[in-house]
Amino acid sequence: MPILEHLWIIPLLPLLGATVNGLLGRTWPNKIINSVAIGATGLSFLAALEAVREFFLLSSEQIPWVKQYFSWIEAGNFRAGFDLQVDQLTLVMLLVVTGVGWLIHIYSTGYMAHEGGYYRFFAYLNLFMFFMLILVLAANYVLLFVGWEGVGLASYLLIGFYFLRKSAADAGKKAFIVNRIGDFGFMLGMFLLFRTFGTLDFVKLFDKATPLSAEALGHLGTLTVACLLLFMGAAGKSAQIPLYVWLPDAMEGPTPVSALIHAATMVTAGVYVVARSHVLFMHAPTAMLVVAVVGCATALFAATIGLVQTDIKKVLAYSTVSQLGYMFLACGVGAFSAGVFHLMTHAFFKALLFLAAGSVIHAMGGEQDMLRMGGLSKKIKWTYVTMLTGTLAIAGIPPLAGFFSKDSILLNAYLSENSGPNVGHILYAAGLFTALLTSFYMFRLIFLIFFGKERYDEHHVHVHESPKSMLIPLAILAVLSIVGGWLAAPAFWGKSDYFAKFLEPVFAAPGGSEAGTAEAVAHALETPLAIIAVLTALAGLLAAYWLYVKQPSKSDSLAKSFRGVYQTLLHKYYVDEFYSAVVVRPLLWLSTNVFWKTVDVSIIDGAVNGIAEGITVVGDGTRRAQSGNTRSYAVWVVVGAIVIVAVIFWPHVRPVLGVAR
Amino acid sequence: MFPRTDDLLRALPELLWCGFGMFAMLLQPFVRSRHFFTVLALVGAVAGTGAAFVAGATPGEGFYGLIESDVFSFFFRLLIGMVAVLVVLAADSYLHRENLPFAEFYALLLFATAGMGVLASARELLTAFIGLELSSISSYILAGFRRDSMKSSEASLKYFLLGSFATAFFLYGIALVYGATGTTNLSRMDDADPGSSLLKLGLSLILIGIGFKVAAAPFQIWTPDVYEGAPTPVTALFSAGPKAAAFALLLRIFASVPAATHFWFWAFWVLAALTMFAGNLGALLQTNVKRLLAYSSIAHAGYILVAFAAVTFMANDLKGGAAPAYAAVLFYLLSYALVKIGAFTIVSEIGGWGEKNLTLDDYAGLAQRQPVAAALLSLYLLSLLGLPVTAGFFGKFYIFKAAVNSHLIWLAVLMAINSIIGAYYYLRVIVVMYMREGSAEAMAAAPVRFPVAVNVVLAITGIGTVYFGLFPNQVLNLILQPNLIAR
Amino acid sequence: MIPTNYYVVLSAILFGLGVLAFIFKRNIISIFMSIELMLNAVNLAFVAFSQAMHKVDGQVFVLFVIVVAAAEAAVGLAIIILTARNRQSLNVERVDLLKL
Amino acid sequence: MTATLIIFFVLAALAVGGALSLIFQKHPIHSALSLIVVMVALAGLYLLMGAEFVAAVQIIVYGGAIMVLFVFVIMLLNAGIEEHTNFSKLAGFPGLLLAFALTGFIAATIARATDTVQAASQPGNIASTRDLSNMIFRDFVYPFELTSFLILVAVLGAIVLAQRETRP
Amino acid sequence: MSSLFQGGHLLSILIFFPAVGSLALLLLRSDDHVFIRRIALIVSVAEFLFSLLLLRGAALTSGDYRLGEYGRWITTPPIHYHLGVDGISLFLVILTTFLTPISVLASWSSISHRVKEFFVMLLMLEVGVIGVFLSLDLFLFFLFWEVMLIPMAMLIGIWGHERRIYAAVKFVLYTMAGSILMLVGIIWLYNATGTFDLPTIQQMIQTGTLVLEPRAEMLLFLAFFVAFAVKVPLFPLHTWLPDAHVEAPTAGSVMLAGVLLKMGTYGMIRFCLPLFPDAARRAAPWVAALAIIGIIYGALVALVQPNLKKLVAYSSVSHLGFVVLGIFAFRNISMQGAVFQMLAHGISTGALFLLVGMLYDRRHTFEISEYGGLATPMPKLAAFFLVAALASMGLPMLNGFVGEFLVLLGTYQSHWQWASWAALGVIFSACYLLWSYQRVFFGEVANDKNKTLPDASVRERFILVTMSIVMLWMGIGSTYFTRRTAAASQTVIDQVEPQRPYEARVAAGVAAVVKALVGNTNNLRDAVEIPAAEGAKR
């Protein structure tokens, strides 16, 4: 089994691409750079496929398949190896990452054709692929953390790709730092796990964790704390409340980047980690609840913001945040496979949407404000069609991918027994409402861009369809986001959901809730819930249609009438302002005025110099005694005489500290 | 009744020094060549120093117990002789530059040396007193040797007045001790009753007299003025010679009079503390290098006194605690003498005619103008500062050791603090030499060419400083033997 | 019969007066004289002790002290002359070129 | 109260008085004269104790040679009334106070401490000059020789310092 | 002792070869700067190659000292010329010998006046530092410790910038103030033990031959600790560092940050812990507190520095805080982390100082506000700077990560609160580095002076590539180092906290690792898994 034996090939190829392009690409023509970058990713995609083939030949006890290559860190009883691991979950991620990644590489060749720093872009992109693959292939938390930080770095570089723009540089920095805050939690989580289990290798660790008894709800046991810490990291990476703030800004990066990193792959790493650590989470209901609630809240929250954004990419960004919330909701209610399923489908259609948006922007010559578009449907038909597909998918219109994944999430939310049924129902309701909002703002987007009259002046903007290199990926992704969901389709006519089946060995291992219980109840509820979901989606569609096609004026008047709400949403609930006022500025002020100027300069250094000053003053005094007058000198001699005589004759004038025995 | 030959041998160094001094005086009217006297003095000094070996070879007491020829006096005679030799060499060019009478200078130098030798070998207070006077009176004259210079004469006057003032105390002390014990011979005082307050008082007054000589605060008061005013080679002599001799006498008294140690411990504790601070603090703001070195020599007297406190504390069991303490004093005196003479020699050469260039500004950029001189001066300063690879470091280390050994932790800590304070002004000189640019004309001026004699002095002191810093063994073996002092 | 300590106490008083004089006088010569006074006090003490203990050496010391005093006198007066010549004053307080 | 005692006190008073006048005389010459008084008084005391030789030397060398030297120098430099400057803060009241304290202490200590020496002294069997010479030329020959060098130094010093013209 | 005689006189050669070199420089009366530079370079490179021989000689099997040299030096008190190297000092020496040629190259063109003296001082500095790392006799150690001061002060004071003299004097006095008390402590210890020989004293303390009463032990501990804490520098004693760094020439900063600071932490490992275990244990919470304060405080102060070099200087305060924390957590893991962090910091911060120096050579200012948008005129330099910054903020696969991670991991095992607080530093380091990086390199070129700045020259590129490669290697092949430091740090731990079953297991593991290394490396993995024997085998 060539590939499974040499798993390292898969991540290494992009790394090679990155190195070659990064070091030598400076002077090369785009063609060569393309071929290197695309070749590298393409090959690793093929390798991934081969890995899948070989994987199916493995006997079940060979799974998870772990290869230890070399040990990377060793100290005392701690060892972190460069160990790669393959199981069903990994495979899914592997395919998504390499596949989508490859498509987006192809797309980028067209999109970035006229940008400066072409080689840099692809080098970064490949670098990202490398780290992302490390992340999904890692067989222990530490190696996973490598990928984790690495993708952060790549995203930092790519967001700041236009580093001449301050906003871009800021956004990159923000992304990295906010992620670091998450990583802080993630690291502590790792430490705690190591302290508890003495290892950080997934297999060993989970084997040890499985027999443990689940901790009671609301009780902060080791596992709960560890899970919460891990989730903190996940929240950072996957832009959940309260750490989501970086993702919208991250749209400063080139659109393909947004598609690849900030929609399809990197941001889902958090979900992947939670799914990967499901064994631990199953033992920590409290943590599960937190995950579910946070996910749900994020979904809703981001959706509301998405309603009023006018920047096409911002809308998509918030929708991404919202969809990620869905995935966490799924994980939170124990439906890990559903979460991962949504992760996959989302990867398809969100990548599609972003790329389409990119194509639109490309067509509009860089324009991103939807209010300055409109009526493009005929001018750029392909883009229109693909984007519509994506929208339908995300809105959850059957039989597109989004429908199935979202449906199973809602179902599981509804069914979740985790902390009493009504909690589950609340989550369900919120999820449903989010679905409504989602379809509303997505169609709003469609209508604003493609329908109505042109709101731009023809003379400056020459709308033109994008090149093949961009359209083909769009097409492929469109197809995927149609059929991508059918894996789960059989669930409806009584058969079981293939995707869940496929992942079962991973998730069902610790007797996860979904397998047994859901199956039975599911069939009863499957259809009604699905219908409700579809109706909500349609409702959203109609609302959008009414507001933005039938009578566009209405929307503005609406905005006016609910000014407060509108402004709040427009300014994203003023969260950024809040953070900068509560965290950033105080910290800077504290550091400057208290720590640096006061403590360092005034107190400590002041003390040091003060002592010096004092001694100097005393020294000057001593010098003054040297008056040059012989008579005074004589008196000094007498003084000395008296001192000596006194010390010798009267014991009690002797220094106290004379002798320390 | 002519003294026995052994006695003469035991006193040979002093006799030789005096003899050559007298010789120089006699020849002065007839010989014009200045080099002649330099050579003569050199020969005399070396001869006396060599005679120290002879004296050392005939141990025992001489002149009815007035003097003692033992390892101790051997060491000090060597030390003093070395000082004399170095000063003779260093003085030559100076006397020439300042156009001063050679014969008289060298004669006085040799007499002073003889006086110190007596002081170091005397075991009887009156003899010590004569020795003291011999060296002091010569010193008074030497201090005022640059007659035309106001400073020089003032130095001479102050030194003389205060010196004889202190001598009076010393003498009165002797009188009282005589009254208390019925003798002035140290070797007969070992059974002196420690309780006798007359003895206490006498020893206190003696301590005052010696304290003045070694410039212990608050008797240090005269030191800076005299050192600054006196001709620089003479200052070099002062800082090294009389101090060593006076300390020698003190040690001698310790070794012989058990009673003394009991009284003196606390006195030394206080003196040491005061002296260290007086010296270092006073030097802190000095801009005149010569004066700065004067203050620093006060500080070092303080360090030595720390060792004395240790000695007194350890009473006088030469086997155990005291031996290292004695060794500490002796080694420190050696290293210190080397360094101080070297430093003052450079100062005197840089000072130029009429000792004009003495301020720090004159030393600015010296490292570029005269790298070797700057490097050497830095070496001496570092040794004074007590940085490793110099004799000064090992000396300080030994004193620390003695202090800690006698549980004088706090005194050790005070000393530590002082060496930090000291570091500041020593570094300042180095900083000026290396890190400041000199004034334009100073940099333009041709570098001062050091005459051979001076180079010899610098070579000896420099090499000695490093050598004893790295390989102190020989010296230690000499001064660490239990029968160091005859008791 | 006069108790010895009469003499010694007297010598102490004289010595003290000498110290006092040293501090009190301004004229260099007078100061020098006060030193001589102190030396005399010492001599008195020596003689008193030696006589009390029937020992001769005390008196020998006195002789030595006198010699030393003479020598000191010679040198001291020379120095004084030198000073007086350098600066037309015998006031010790005016001799303060070297200070600080 | 015996005659000797009276003589002692007279001489003592003379000495102390001389010392005091040495202090309080304005003109150095008067100070010198009062110092001579002290010396003479001390000579008397030596005689009283039966140390004739010392007394003689005291008169001849001290009172004679040394003090004459002083007077001579005073004349040479024709020193006038000493000017009454007070540059030294320390040497004012505090200095005198300290000096008194020291004196008092020393005197007191001695007064209490001379028990170590015999309380009374009896004249008569006092050392003869022969013993003295023995002492000097045998026991103390070394310091004695040294004193010769000392005097040599003194002469030398006088020459070096006091001679007027500087040599070429 | 006999084992001490193997290996010839490599250590002495290591110490004195640079001295000889500098002497040669001093004596040869050439004012040809290029020639002098060449000589210096050759000497330092040769020294580096010599030091590599240590890797061959140094053994891994046990924590004791290797390649020892033991000679009588001073008879009374018995002071010996006793050298030795173990896993901890091994790499510190190599770090020194590695950074010296780098510094020589770095000052190739930026030092133009009094060139000869400069390189002499640089080499003398190397002598002092290596001596400190290799000497096993307290007296000898102190000797080198003090000797090293003067060359460094000279480097700062002569070739520094505006306030160089103030900085130099401050540096010396600060350090002396600490070390002089250490001297008293050393002597006190001598009085208690009768020897200056480190291994002997360690043995006495381990075997209980020497028992210090608590108060005395604590005083001694402090006497040593303060001296080291000044050098590190630990939080309240750090104020000399910014001045020294800002004023020092590039080479000076590199040596200062790269090596001299390590002398402090090295001293803690070598002396404070083994000699005064109880005191160390009692003091640990306070020390840790200071270290943590240092980590966070240093980072925050760095965050707001307008002066680029000061920023890096304060970052050192923060990073060294990790080291101290790792040492005083008394865990094998954290200890190795600390050692590794020393090396990593030496390289990455050294690189940062080199880069800052290169910027200074071009613009003669450290003010961040003067820069901006430099990525456009000098992309290469920007790239290297980014690598160094990332390494220093602890990005995995670069050297900074391993050290910090191990320190935190190890510390967490015993004191989770400490680790949790310290981990905040990870966030802040990202803040100040990225922010300053952005302000210097990103954005449009605001200042016209910056428009035409030349990119990295060949020489500079060579330096930077070397540094980057080392960073990468240390980040990926960290085991190469940790396997060699394992035994030594375990020994230290055993001396501080004897009889602890958990650590004993670790020791077994280490032994196994070593066996595996000595034998064929295939069964290495099994060896490694012995300590954590649990977990399914496949």
pLDDT digits (tens, 9 = 90+) for A275-294: 999 888 888 888 888 999 99
Single residue among D79, D100, D116 that ends a domain in this structure? D79
For residues A545 and A537, what is the distance between their CA atoms, to the nearest angstrom? 12
Angstrom CA distances, A284 to A197, A276, A287, A328, stand at 16, 14, 5, 15
| D161 has a pLDDT exceeding 70 | yes
Query: What is the DSSP-derived secondary structure letter of residue C91?
Result: B
For residues E509 and A77, what is the distance between their CA atoms, to the nearest angstrom? 7
Angstrom CA distances, E234 to A422, B182, E295, E393, E492, stand at 55, 64, 9, 19, 21
Amino acid identity of residue A64, one-letter, is P
Give me the long-range contacts of E209-218 (CB less than 8 A, separation at least 24): E212/E276, E214/E278, E214/E279, E214/E282, E216/E188, E216/E192, E217/E276, E217/E278, E217/E279, E218/E276, E218/E279, E218/E282, E218/E283
Give the model's confidence band at A514: pLDDT under 50 very low, under 70 low, under 90 confident, else very high.
very low
Q: What is the pLDDT along chain E (538 residues), one digit of tens a residue?
A: 334 344 578 888 888 999 999 998 888 877 788 888 888 999 999 999 988 888 876 556 666 777 778 888 888 788 889 888 888 888 999 999 999 999 999 988 888 888 888 999 999 999 999 999 999 999 999 999 998 999 999 999 889 888 889 999 999 998 988 888 899 899 988 888 888 998 888 888 888 788 888 888 898 999 999 999 999 889 888 889 999 999 999 999 999 999 999 999 999 999 998 888 888 988 999 999 999 999 999 999 999 999 999 999 999 999 999 999 999 998 888 999 999 999 999 999 999 999 999 999 888 889 988 888 888 888 889 999 999 999 999 888 898 899 999 999 999 988 888 999 999 988 999 999 999 999 898 888 888 888 888 888 899 999 999 999 999 999 998 888 888 888 888 888 888 876 544 444 455 555 555 555 554 444 434 434 434 333 333 3
For residues B249 and B126, what is the distance between their CA atoms, to the nearest angstrom? 12
Q: Which of B134, B142, B151, B160 is the best substitution to test chain C (most C C-beta atoms within 10 A)?
A: B160
**Measured between CA atoms, how close is E434 to chain A, in angstroms?**
6
| D146 & D73 share domain | no
Amino acid identity of residue A362, one-letter, is H
Phi and psi at D88, nearest 5°, equal: -90, 110
Asked if the C-beta of B22 comes within 8 angstroms of chain E's C-beta atoms, the answer is no
**Has residue D98 been placed in a domain?**
no
| D67 & D10 share domain | yes
Q: What residues in B contact D117, CB-CB < 8 Å?
A: 179
For A551, the enclosing helix (H) or strand (E) is none
Amino acid identity of residue E90, one-letter, is L
Single residue among D79, D94, D117 that ends a domain in this structure? D79
Cβ separation E426–A187 shorter than 8 A: yes
Which tens digit of pLDDT belongs to each residue from A527-554? Answer: 888 888 888 889 988 888 888 888 777 7
C98 by DSSP, 3-state: which?
coil
CATH number for the domain harbouring residue D51: 1.20.120.1200
Residue E71 forms beta bridges with which residues? E81
For residues A55 and A137, what is the distance between their CA atoms, to the nearest angstrom? 14
Q: What residues in B contact A661, CB-CB < 8 Å?
A: 407
Angstrom CA distances, D110 to A253, B92, B126, B179, stand at 100, 50, 21, 10
CB A437 within 8 A of CB A306: yes
From E408, E444, E490, residue closest to A187, measured CB to CB:
E408
Q: Which of B158, B297, B287 is nearest to B217 (CA)?
A: B297
pLDDT at E515: 55
**Has residue D43 been placed in a domain?**
yes
| A348 has a pLDDT exceeding 50 | yes
Which is higher by pLDDT, A104 or E9?
A104
E70 by DSSP, 3-state: which?
strand
CB B153 within 8 A of CB C83: yes
**Has residue D161 been placed in a domain?**
yes
Q: How does strand A78-86 pair with strand A65-75?
A: antiparallel
| D75 & D1 share domain | yes
pLDDT at E521: 40
Give CA angle at E392 (E391, E394), nearest 5°: 65
Nearest CA in chain D to A642: D102
For E393, the enclosing helix (H) or strand (E) is none
Q: Which of A620, A629, A637 is the best substitution to test chain C (most C C-beta atoms within 10 A)?
A: A629
CB A83 within 8 A of CB A68: yes
Q: What residues in B contact C41, CB-CB < 8 Å?
A: 172
CB E344 within 8 A of CB E391: yes
Amino acid identity of residue A343, one-letter, is L
Tell me the residue range of the domain where D147 lies: 127-168
| D140 has a pLDDT exceeding 60 | yes
From B144, B153, B168, residue closest to C42, measured CB to CB:
B168
| Mean residue pLDDT across chain D | 83
B67 by DSSP, 3-state: which?
strand
Nearest CA in chain E to A188: E420
| Ordered structural domains, chain C, with CATH | 4-92 (1.10.287.3510)
| D2 & D70 share domain | yes
Query: What is the DSSP-derived secondary structure letter of residue B359?
Result: B
Task: Tokens for E126, please give them.
Answer: 């190397």
Q: How does strand A78-86 pair with strand E79-85?
A: unpaired
Give the model's confidence band at A273: pLDDT under 50 very low, under 70 low, under 90 confident, else very high.
very high
Question: Within a 13 Å sphere around the CA of E189, how many CA atoms are in the beta-carbon half?
Answer: 30
Domain count, chain D: 2
Residues (pLDDT < 70) of chain B are: 1-2, 315-321
Predicted model pTM: 0.90
Asked if the C-beta of E75 comes within 8 angstroms of chain B's C-beta atoms, the answer is yes
Single residue among D79, D111, D139 that ends a domain in this structure? D79
pLDDT at A261: 86
**Has residue D111 been placed in a domain?**
no
**Has residue D99 been placed in a domain?**
no
Cβ separation A631–C99 shorter than 8 A: no
Q: What residues in E contact A183, CB-CB < 8 Å?
A: 426
| Mean residue pLDDT across chain A | 85
For residues A141 and E451, what is the distance between their CA atoms, to the nearest angstrom? 45
Indicate left, alpha or beta for B315 from its phi (over 0: left) and psi (-120 to 50: alpha): left
**Measured between CA atoms, how close is A657 to chain B, in angstroms?**
7
Which tens digit of pLDDT belongs to each residue from A596-606? Answer: 888 888 888 88
Distance from the first to the final alpha carbon of chain D:
69
Asked if the C-beta of B437 comes within 8 angstroms of chain E's C-beta atoms, the answer is no
For residues B250 and B271, what is the distance between their CA atoms, to the nearest angstrom? 14
Outline where chain C has alpha helix (H).
Answer: 4-24, 28-52, 57-86
Asked if the C-beta of C95 comes within 8 angstroms of chain D's C-beta atoms, the answer is no
Q: Which of B138, B199, B204 is the best substitution to test chain D (most D C-beta atoms within 10 A)?
A: B138
Residues 78-137 of D with CB under 8 A from A: 87-91, 94-95, 98-99, 101-102, 105, 109
- Tell me, rounded to whole angstroms, the distance of Cα D4 from its chain centroid: 23
Length of chain D: 168
Phi and psi at B68, nearest 5°, equal: -130, 130
**Has residue D97 been placed in a domain?**
no
Cβ separation B219–A630 shorter than 8 A: no
Task: Tokens for A444, please give them.
Answer: 């709003």
From D88, D99, D109, residue closest to A632, measured CB to CB:
D88
Which tens digit of pLDDT belongs to each residue from D3-31? Answer: 888 899 999 999 999 999 998 888 888 99
Question: Within a 13 Å sphere around the CA of A658, how many CA atoms are in the beta-carbon half?
Answer: 19
Question: Within a 13 Å sphere around the CA of E534, how many CA atoms are in the beta-carbon half?
Answer: 17
Amino acid identity of residue E417, one-letter, is Q
Q: Which of E502, E487, E525, E537 is nearest to E87 (CA)?
A: E487
For residues E111 and A421, what is the distance between their CA atoms, to the nearest angstrom? 76
Which is higher by pLDDT, B111 or A209?
B111
